[in-house]
């Protein structure tokens, strides 16, 4: 500790001298008061389950805002929190009075702390790090305490810089060793020389980080404040500031230039939440859901450290014009670190449309439809949507005499409720599909009224922890009717709420853009009366998977609405299968005896253990040993990535014709079919589909 003071004391003095507020504030008090009043009215009057604005609510908003501004605990100290704490039980009253005193005081201190850090980070990075010193750094930013004072704050910055530099240094040493193996005469740099290079790279990334911090303005911070209020009602009620609203509107148009990955903020990290089917990252195949992106480089440029950066800011660095290259430094679920180059492209809506493949098992022909989302173009109702596309694909499968169907809803986060109802109607004669309820109204039953069954053969639906909303409506209805076997994760995501997107200027005449609010206004219920909220859809056949022990569902969100149930709708269970229970039991036996599934479960537990271990060594020797041990432990799971199910998938005849004119489409399908041939979950779903038998004693199609 004494050696640290030689650096820290001058730094504290330097920070006070260099303090200058370059960050853009530009507050608009009138607009902010109007916005706060609008949001409060919408939440208290329009939300499905309004939260009482009281002292408990005030405390939650207080915590949300502090953590939202400083999630990595890099700027505020416990001394700062003592200044803020007098407002902890006053925010409910301030919100009602449209009083922004707390907001102003916190953002003012935040600006001060950011500028102080901007003043001292270069001083820290002037000095070599001692990588022989035996110390650790806790990267569990969510649960660690704020630093006690400025001295502890600067020590935390030192350790963060040391870890970042250590990571770069380790990569440089490994690269040099690999080069030496190829060329024994290659230039060899000393540890000290490589340390300087790594530290200079950290300095450059921090310069870029603070340049981007300078671009933050009051709209950014006020958006965090408003969402500190809105997300206390439920995790899906979200405010979109004008800039964010424009991005959202652009994404809804279905044309984005980037890598084709949906990202999520977890603590101070940017995590891959979903890969857009057909997008550059999906085609490349190296980036996976759950990966943590730690650095971003433009082509051959120096990587920018995005740890601790706001999600919107990180996305701005990752996306870019078609044809340009971005290099992502990624921490994989197994703890390994990889650099993944991706050429950006235009991500078209076409890439998220339903697609179909056919496979022969024995002498039987089976079909697989991948449905990435329940899509619809609200601005052009005559444009194709998921329901009309699914009907067309089912018709094509019938024409090819396909005998059973698997619908893949993995990673399908939902979409249009209407299309989910229409798709469900393809597989039953008629009847209720879902019940929808406003906060003060009676449940409304939404039904399929078409008496024709378009598909009267075996049906299997695959889900995972990321199958949500409309996916759960469809899967739950098919399960309640006993129409399909649901296979996959123990349960789906568990989102049983419906949101309305409100452009706020439609509700208040104001010359400036007020942004938009996505507001939870309804809950939906299964036809058996239960809710998918929190519980999701429980699979008939649960399969081990990599995410089984990780917290990624609605049930893990602290402000999720509770599960409840209502009266069952009037419906008749479909009685078309002669061996439904036997098929499920046989599948469970196969899974229990399958060594690959056992290995998947072991891998999931290992990943959870790694996630729980948040202490990182800051000595080079122990850091290197830890990485090597992790790599050696991970070697036992290599066969998971080498698995092949020995099934051969092909496109339908109409698509084979399209390939003659569209080589890109052919390539996309080739990649998809290759992935299917490595997919043990698809394999088991097809086994179930092939085993299901239809009763022959009564006709199933009613014209």
Of 667 and 424, the one with more pLDDT = 424
| 492 and 562 fall within a common domain | yes
Domain tally for the chain? 3
pLDDT range class, residue 661, cuts 50, 70, 90: confident
* Of 294, 290, 303, residue with least CA distance to 616: 294
pLDDT value of position 419 = 94
Residue 613 inside a domain? The answer is: no
Which of residues 168, 200, 230 is at a domain's end?
A: 230
Residue 7 inside a domain? The answer is: yes
Q: Where are the beta strands (DSSP E) in 387-467?
A: 404-408, 431-438, 444-448, 459-463
**Residue range 466-484: average pLDDT?**
98
Residue 622 inside a domain? The answer is: no
Tokens 């917290």 correspond to 551
| 527 and 670 fall within a common domain | yes
- Say which CATH number the domain at 289 has: 2.30.42.10
Q: Which structure tokens are listed for 487?
A: 């296979």
Helices vs strands, H then E, count in the chain? 22, 22
Residue 616 inside a domain? The answer is: no
| 176 and 252 fall within a common domain | no
The neighbouring-strand residues paired with 434 are 446
Q: For residue range 627-640, what is the model confidence (pLDDT) as tens digits? A: 999 889 889 998 99
* Of 292, 308, 240, 252, residue with least CA distance to 67: 308
| 142 and 270 fall within a common domain | no
Mean pLDDT lowest for which of 256-270, 444-458, 648-662?
256-270
Residue 611 inside a domain? The answer is: no
- Say which CATH number the domain at 422 has: 3.90.226.10
What CA–CA distances, in Å, run from 5 to 140, 146, 158, 576? 25, 20, 12, 77
Residue 466, C-beta contacts closer than 8 angstroms, at least 6 positions apart? 273, 274, 289, 410, 411, 412, 413, 493, 552
DSSP state at residue 538: B
| 487 and 509 fall within a common domain | yes
**Residue range 488-498: average pLDDT?**
96
The DSSP H or E segment spanning 175 is helix 150-182
Does the pLDDT of residue 57 top 90, yes or no?
yes
399 exposed, middle or buried (CB, 10 Å; 0-12, 13-18, 19+)? exposed
Q: For residue range 325-356, what is the model confidence (pLDDT) as tens digits? A: 999 999 998 889 999 999 999 776 566 789 99
| 375 and 505 fall within a common domain | yes
Q: Which structure tokens are listed for 662?
A: 């569209």
Residue 415 inside a domain? The answer is: yes
Q: For residue range 583-623, what is the model confidence (pLDDT) as tens digits? A: 999 999 999 999 999 999 999 999 888 888 889 999 999 99
| 211 and 308 fall within a common domain | no
Alpha-carbon distance of 350 to 544, in angstroms, equals: 32
**Residue range 84-90: average pLDDT?**
97
Q: pTM here?
A: 0.78
CB 114 within 8 A of CB 213: yes
Does the pLDDT of residue 252 top 50, yes or no?
no
What CA–CA distances, in Å, run from 467 to 111, 190, 271, 641? 40, 51, 18, 23
Does the pLDDT of residue 300 top 90, yes or no?
no
Residue 94, C-beta contacts closer than 8 angstroms, at least 6 positions apart? 87, 100, 101, 102
The DSSP H or E segment spanning 359 is strand 355-361
Residue 631 inside a domain? The answer is: no
CB 475 within 8 A of CB 463: yes
Residue 44, C-beta contacts closer than 8 angstroms, at least 6 positions apart? 50, 53
Name the average pLDDT for the chain: 90
| 282 and 357 fall within a common domain | no
- Gap between the terminal Cα atoms of the chain: 83
Mean pLDDT lowest for which of 95-109, 251-265, 484-498?
251-265
Which of residues 297, 314, 348 is at a domain's end?
A: 348
The DSSP H or E segment spanning 218 is helix 218-230
| 470 and 332 fall within a common domain | no
CB 12 within 8 A of CB 166: no
| 290 and 439 fall within a common domain | no
* Of 24, 26, 100, 31, residue with least CA distance to 513: 31
pLDDT range class, residue 259, cuts 50, 70, 90: very high
Which of residues 321, 348, 375 is at a domain's end?
A: 348
Percentage of the chain modeled with pLDDT above 70: 92
| 570 and 465 fall within a common domain | yes
Question: Which residue range forms the structural domain that includes residue 441?
Answer: 353-593+645-691
Q: For residue range 213-230, what is the model confidence (pLDDT) as tens digits? A: 887 889 999 999 999 999
Does the pLDDT of residue 81 top 50, yes or no?
yes
Positive or negative torsion for Cα 246, 248, 252, 258: positive
CB 675 within 8 A of CB 275: no
| 217 and 250 fall within a common domain | no
pLDDT range class, residue 385, cuts 50, 70, 90: confident
């Amino acid at each position: 500790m004494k050696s640290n003071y030689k650096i820290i004391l001058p730094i504290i003095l330097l920070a006070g001298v260099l303090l200058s507020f370059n960050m853009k504030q530009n507050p608009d008090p009138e607009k902010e008061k109007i916005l706060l009043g609008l949001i409060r009215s919408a939440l208290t009057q329009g939300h499905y389950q309004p939260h009482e604005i009281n002292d408990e609510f005030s405390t939650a908003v207080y915590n949300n805002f502090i953590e939202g501004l400083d999630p990595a605990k890099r700027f505020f100290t416990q001394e700062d929190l003592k200044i803020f704490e007098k407002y902890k039980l006053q925010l409910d009253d301030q919100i009602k009075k449209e009083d922004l005193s707390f907001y102003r005081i916190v953002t003012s201190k935040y600006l001060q702390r950011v500028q102080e850090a901007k003043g001292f980070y270069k001083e820290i990075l002037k000095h070599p790090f001692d990588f022989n010193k035996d110390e650790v750094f806790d990267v569990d930013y969510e649960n660690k305490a704020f630093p006690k004072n400025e001295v502890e704050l600067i020590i935390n910055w030192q350790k963060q810089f040391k870890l970042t530099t250590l990571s770069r240094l380790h990569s440089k040493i490994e690269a040099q060793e690999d080069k030496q193996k190829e060329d024994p005469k290659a230039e060899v740099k000393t540890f000290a020389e490589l340390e300087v290079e790594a530290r200079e790279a950290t300095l450059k990334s921090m310069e870029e980080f603070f340049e981007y911090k300078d671009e933050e303005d009051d709209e950014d911070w006020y958006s965090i404040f408003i969402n500190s209020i809105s997300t206390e009602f439920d995790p899906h009620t979200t405010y979109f500031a004008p800039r964010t609203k424009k991005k959202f509107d652009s994404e809804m148009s279905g044309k984005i230039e980037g890598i084709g990955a949906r990202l999520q903020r977890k603590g101070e990290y940017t995590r891959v939440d979903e890969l857009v089917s057909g997008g550059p990252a999906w085609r490349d195949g190296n980036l996976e859901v759950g990966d943590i992106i730690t650095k971003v480089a433009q082509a051959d440029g120096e990587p920018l450290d995005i740890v601790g950066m706001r999600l919107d800011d990180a996305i701005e660095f990752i996306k870019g014009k078609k044809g340009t290259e971005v290099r992502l430094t990624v921490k994989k679920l197994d703890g390994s670190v990889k650099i993944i180059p991706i050429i950006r492209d235009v991500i078209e809506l076409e890439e998220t449309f339903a697609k179909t493949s056919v496979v022969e098992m024995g002498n039987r022909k089976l079909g697989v439809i991948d449905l990435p989302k329940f899509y619809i173009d609200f601005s052009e109702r005559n444009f194709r949507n998921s329901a009309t596309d699914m009907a067309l694909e089912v018709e094509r499968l019938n024409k090819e005499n396909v005998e059973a169907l698997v619908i893949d809803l993995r990673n399908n986060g939902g979409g249009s409720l209407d299309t989910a109802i229409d798709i469900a109607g393809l597989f039953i004669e008629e009847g209720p599909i879902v019940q929808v309820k406003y906060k003060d109204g009676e449940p409304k039953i939404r039904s399929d009224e078409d008496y024709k069954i378009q598909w009267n053969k075996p049906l299997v639906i695959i889900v995972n922890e990321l199958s949500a909303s409309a996916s759960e409506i469809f899967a739950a209805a098919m399960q309640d009717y006993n129409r399909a076997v649901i296979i996959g994760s123990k349960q789906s995501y568990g989102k049983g709420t419906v949101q309305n997107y409100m452009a706020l200027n439609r509700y208040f005449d104001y010359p400036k853009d007020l942004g938009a609010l996505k507001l939870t206004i309804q809950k939906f219920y299964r036809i058996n009366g239960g809710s998918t909220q929190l519980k999701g859809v429980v699979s008939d056949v649960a399969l081990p998977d990599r995410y089984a022990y990780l917290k990624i569902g609605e049930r893990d969100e602290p402000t999720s609405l509770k599960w409840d149930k209502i009266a069952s709708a009037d419906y008749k269970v479909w009685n078309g299968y002669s061996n439904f229970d036997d098929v499920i039991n046989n599948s469970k036996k196969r899974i229990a005896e399958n060594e690959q599934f056992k290995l998947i479960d072991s891998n999931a537990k290992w990943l959870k253990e790694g996630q729980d271990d948040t202490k990182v060594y800051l000595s080079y020797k122990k850091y290197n040993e830890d990485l090597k041990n992790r790599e050696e432990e991970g070697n036992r799971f290599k066969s998971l990535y080498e698995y092949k199910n020995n099934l051969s998938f092909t496109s339908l005849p109409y698509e084979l014709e399209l390939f003659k004119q569209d080589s890109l489409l052919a390539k996309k399908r080739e990649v998809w079919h290759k992935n299917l041939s490595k997919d043990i979950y698809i394999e088991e779903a097809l086994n179930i589909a092939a085993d299901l038998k239809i009763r022959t004693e009564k006709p199933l199609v009613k014209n």
